Structure 1
Amino acid sequence: MMTTKNLLQTGVLALSLLATSVMAAVSADQAAKLGTTLTPLGAEKDGNADGSIPEWTGGLPQNAGAVDAKGFLADPFASETALFTITAQNVDQYKDKLTPGQLAMFKRYPTSYKIPVFPTHRTATVPAAVAAAAKANATNTKLIQNGNGLENFSQAYPFPIPQNGVEAIWNQITRYRGGSVRRLVNQATPQANGSYSMVSFVDEFTFRSALKDYDASKPSNVLFYFKQRVTAPSRLAGGVLLVHETIDQVKEPRLAWLYNAGQRRVRRAPQVSYDGPGTASDGLRTSDNFDMYNGAPDRYEWKLEGKKEIYIPYNSYRLDSPKLKYDEIIKAGHINQDLTRYELHRVWHVVATLKPGERHIYAKRDFYIDEDTWQAVEIDHYDGRGTLWRVAEAHSQYYYDKQVPWYAVETLYDLLSGRYLALGMKNEEKQAYDFSYTASESDYTPAALRQEGVR
């Protein structure tokens, strides 16, 4: 069985990013492990020693459950009950498998916060073409601009066998999310007493290679296109954000525009990056908190600490059920933990420390990234005094019918104010994620923004 110790010995877990302009890809011998001793995306195929983490056997089949008329997925594990529940009373028994942020949540909310732990299921996979691209990337993709850009990159997962922290983060940034998708989602920012108003969005997201008019011969630094329209409440409705996410954001920073419905004007939006305020978030998240983490990695030093086993939100089908109302999910202090599901999984631990002379409201961030999907599932955020400030948890689920790992709900808890943000809820919407959505490059131009805002 391949263990973390073996990985360290073979050099897969190297030291933090070296300050070189170009870093080499892994050897063909290392890449040959993908699909053999490693999964196609680089996770350890074997389970752990006591069997509490099983072997990866290919993920859930595409027909693992029923899909309703709205696109919501049946829970393949609906009949399971929790193995045990971690509470403030017994948390010391499990602290070696919890993050500092999770432990802080038990201290902040000792009577209500809990972690129900269920059997572990390694459900995720990706389409064969995406897996093939990851394997090709392993030997071809290189870091450029001191780790702030990619060279010879295709589609997703540039570094399935990461050698340093910034490579692991690039896997999170570029991970497969279905090629092109349209989603109706909601964001709540409850007061400390649990009262909230919902903000509703229509998001459209297309990787450049999934465009209807994609031309592989046309050079481009664009990784994907993103458009977000606010539909409620009425005072915010009609505003539209457009982003062209670039592969090398230092050489060519992210391009962003905002359409202001009141002024009927389109303006460049350089503030939509780093610690600029997140859309309609009431100051509770930064731009780079969206999707757990996004954007250029150049303001931080990234250190790959290795792997560990922790309890993380996983297979969160119950939390995504169309039978739930938003009031059943949003509670004072945190979401309704009775609706959550945690499992024991291996994660990559990456520490981001703000570089000297750089500015960001988060001086340090601890990332815990699921080895099977390269999705960040827990992130602890520290302020300039070294105080643990915000705790992010992503309640992930695998969209098995489309072979897409993603999130059901993202949460970001502010330990100091007692408030939090929950993003991604769609339980009461008329449609779940629409992975059949298609778009052309012209749909993601500033000229298209005004028309989008008045629909």
Structure 2
Amino acid sequence: MLTKQAVLGTLAAFSLAAFSVHAAVPSSEVAKLGTTLTPLGAEKAGNAAGTIPPWEGGITAAPAGYKGSGQHHIDPFPNDKPLFVIDKSNVEQYKAHLTAGQVAMLNSYPTTFTIPVYTSRRSGSAPDWVYKNTAANAATAKLVESGNGFEDAYAGIPFPIPQNGLEAIWNHIARYRGEYIQRNAAGALVQKNGSYALVKTKQEAKFKFYDRKASYKDLNNIMFFYSTETISPARFAGEASIVHETLNQVAEPRKAWGYSPGQRRVRRAPTLSYDTTTSGSEGIETVDSVDMYNGSPDRYDWKLLGKKEIYIPYNNYALTAQGVKYDDLLQPGHINPNLTRYELHRVWVVEATLKASNRHIYGKRTMYLDEDSWQAVEIDNYDGKGELWNIAVAYTKNFYDLPAVWSGIEAYYDIQSRRYFVTNLDSEEAETANFSKPVPEDSYFDPSSLRRKGVR
């Protein structure tokens, strides 16, 4: 457990026990939010080398020409050019600022995979009401039941001054992503030779944890409601599902229902958790890897290793711009690196080690959380023998119509089979994520609505 003296001494580099009884954050530390710390708990100052700038509020307004939520985002930094490009030939020069997964990708694809590095822009931002709630949470939030959930926190980051790895990962799980979203998106499993087949879906989510009309006591253990319906290919069209995502999933597992147009029946789905494989990914994406990491953390021991300066995917507006062809984006082995953007940022490093009494296909997971948003940007997943297996990457940007940093595209690279699975593709779709629709009642996500959602 981190001592009070250590908290006062530094927020930049420390190692913590996996979990112990929560100690209240001193009021003197909470007071730093919005002063020496950003409202979400990041260091406001830049780094000593000047390669990471100070945070000055992030993006607070959309660029000229942006018409509103649902339109593809306009790049706020259209004139930026790469400062340099990391490839196999110079990887050793930059290794101190790379993850193990990034090094593995450079070594696995020495002639095609590169990391273009741009000027670091701390564009992360969130609404003022999220900042206000985060400050309140810092003084009240508590982990419960060995860290399987938390209480007395609502509509903001629960632990902006984290004291252990569990608090840090809950910050990612509970980070702000709007109140209600509708989006059309595609996913693809890309084979070793670059061939792929798209599955297009319509998705909706109501983030109950960020319902400003409610309070923590109104949650009833529900974090969010989610629904999806398949648009294409034709053989899957009309399939639909609804998920009720619980906060403490040990006390109450997530609930899910599915509708099959062939059977015209709504069925309760089997348990969807941990290392269950997601549909269409052929084992490359697990259920708890969706959105980089989600669900109950109870199968792992969690350790907060401190902070590092890492080149991470940030401000990836070119990658998700309207008109980018999926054929140009999806290349053998990995996403087209010429469309990506990396920047040097500070990240929290969290290590999850599988408990001896539990099972999971990943024996260890090293997670890198952006300090300005708590978004997990890179996760290195290791098999039971300690070999690096799967590398999850969130190509992030600021959804300035909220605003919030979130992944535009997520990719899960299996470096052993040399295949990868990519989600949330939308550059060829007519519209992108829309956060402006009226927020529906909770009953909109009742299982009885599935037949309506799944009509061909």
TM-score interval (norm. to shorter): over 0.9
Counterpart of 2:33 in structure 1 is: 34
Alpha-carbon distance in 1 for matches of 2:376, 2:442: 29
Structure 1 position 391, deviation (Å) = 0.7
Structure 1 position 268, deviation (Å) = 2.0
The residue type equivalent to 2:47 in the other structure is: N
- Decide whether aligned partners of structure 1 residues 185 and 8 sit closer, same or farther in structure 2, where only a CA change above 3 A counts: farther
Alpha-carbon distance in 1 for matches of 2:282, 2:64: 38
- Decide whether aligned partners of structure 1 residues 363 and 349 sit closer, same or farther in structure 2, where only a CA change above 3 A counts: same
Counterpart of 1:451 in structure 2 is: 452
State the SS of the aligned residue for 1:177.
Answer: coil
Determine if the alignment matches structure 1 residue 16 to structure 2 residue 11.
no
The residue type equivalent to 2:441 in the other structure is: S
Structure 1 position 272, deviation (Å) = 1.6
Moved more, 232-241 or 89-98: 232-241
Counterpart of 1:87 in structure 2 is: 87
Deviations 1:64-86 (A, max 9, x none): 34325751121111111100000
Structure 1 position 211, deviation (Å) = 5.9
The alignment of Structure 1 onto Structure 2 pairs a total of residues equal to 449
**Which stretches of structure 1, 4 residues or more, deviate above 6 A after TM superposition?**
none
- Decide whether aligned partners of structure 1 residues 212 and 129 sit closer, same or farther in structure 2, where only a CA change above 3 A counts: closer
Determine if the alignment matches structure 1 residue 238 to structure 2 residue 238.
yes
The residue type equivalent to 2:165 in the other structure is: G
- Decide whether aligned partners of structure 1 residues 121 and 195 sit closer, same or farther in structure 2, where only a CA change above 3 A counts: same
- Decide whether aligned partners of structure 1 residues 358 and 51 sit closer, same or farther in structure 2, where only a CA change above 3 A counts: same
Tell me, yes or no, if the aligned pair for 1:97 and 1:311 is still in contact at 8 Å: yes
- Decide whether aligned partners of structure 1 residues 349 and 441 sit closer, same or farther in structure 2, where only a CA change above 3 A counts: same
Counterpart of 2:46 in structure 1 is: 47
Moved more, 260-269 or 147-156: 260-269
State the SS of the aligned residue for 1:226.
Answer: strand
Tell me, yes or no, if the aligned pair for 2:98 and 2:310 is still in contact at 8 Å: yes
Determine if the alignment matches structure 1 residue 131 to structure 2 residue 131.
yes
Counterpart of 1:380 in structure 2 is: 380
Moved more, 190-199 or 395-404: 395-404
Alpha-carbon distance in 2 for matches of 1:25, 1:314: 33
- Decide whether aligned partners of structure 1 residues 55 and 210 sit closer, same or farther in structure 2, where only a CA change above 3 A counts: closer
Alpha-carbon distance in 2 for matches of 1:324, 1:250: 42
The residue type equivalent to 1:390 in the other structure is: N
Unaligned runs of 5+ in 1: none
Instruction: State the TM-score, normalized to the length of structure 1.
Output: 0.95
Counterpart of 1:439 in structure 2 is: 440
The residue type equivalent to 2:18 in the other structure is: L
- Decide whether aligned partners of structure 1 residues 32 and 56 sit closer, same or farther in structure 2, where only a CA change above 3 A counts: same
Counterpart of 2:353 in structure 1 is: 353
Structure 1 position 220, deviation (Å) = 0.9
State the SS of the aligned residue for 1:168.
Answer: helix
Determine if the alignment matches structure 1 residue 327 to structure 2 residue 327.
yes
- Decide whether aligned partners of structure 1 residues 360 and 61 sit closer, same or farther in structure 2, where only a CA change above 3 A counts: same
Counterpart of 2:362 in structure 1 is: 362
- Decide whether aligned partners of structure 1 residues 372 and 382 sit closer, same or farther in structure 2, where only a CA change above 3 A counts: same
- Decide whether aligned partners of structure 1 residues 36 and 274 sit closer, same or farther in structure 2, where only a CA change above 3 A counts: same
Tell me, yes or no, if the aligned pair for 1:183 and 1:202 is still in contact at 8 Å: yes
Structure 1 position 270, deviation (Å) = 3.5
State the SS of the aligned residue for 2:187.
Answer: strand
Alpha-carbon distance in 2 for matches of 1:302, 1:385: 19
Counterpart of 1:153 in structure 2 is: 153
Alpha-carbon distance in 1 for matches of 2:308, 2:238: 44
State the SS of the aligned residue for 1:182.
Answer: strand
Moved more, 199-208 or 258-267: 258-267
Counterpart of 1:426 in structure 2 is: 426
Counterpart of 2:316 in structure 1 is: 316
State the SS of the aligned residue for 1:309.
Answer: strand
The residue type equivalent to 2:44 in the other structure is: K
Structure 1 position 209, deviation (Å) = 5.1
State the SS of the aligned residue for 1:73.
Answer: coil
Deviations 1:99-153 (A, max 9, x none): 0100000111000000000000000110011111111110101000000111112
State the SS of the aligned residue for 2:194.
Answer: coil
Instruction: State the TM-score, normalized to the length of structure 2.
Output: 0.95
Percent of aligned pairs with the same amino acid: 48
Alpha-carbon distance in 2 for matches of 1:136, 1:326: 43
Map 1:34-433 → 2, pairs under 5 A: 34-68=33-67, 70-208=70-208, 218=218, 220-433=220-433
Moved more, 339-348 or 205-214: 205-214
The residue type equivalent to 2:110 in the other structure is: P
The residue type equivalent to 2:455 in the other structure is: V
Alpha-carbon distance in 1 for matches of 2:8, 2:25: 14
Tell me, yes or no, if the aligned pair for 1:211 and 1:440 is still in contact at 8 Å: no
Alpha-carbon distance in 1 for matches of 2:87, 2:15: 36
State the SS of the aligned residue for 2:319.
Answer: helix
Tell me, yes or no, if the aligned pair for 1:14 and 1:163 is still in contact at 8 Å: no
State the SS of the aligned residue for 2:396.
Answer: strand
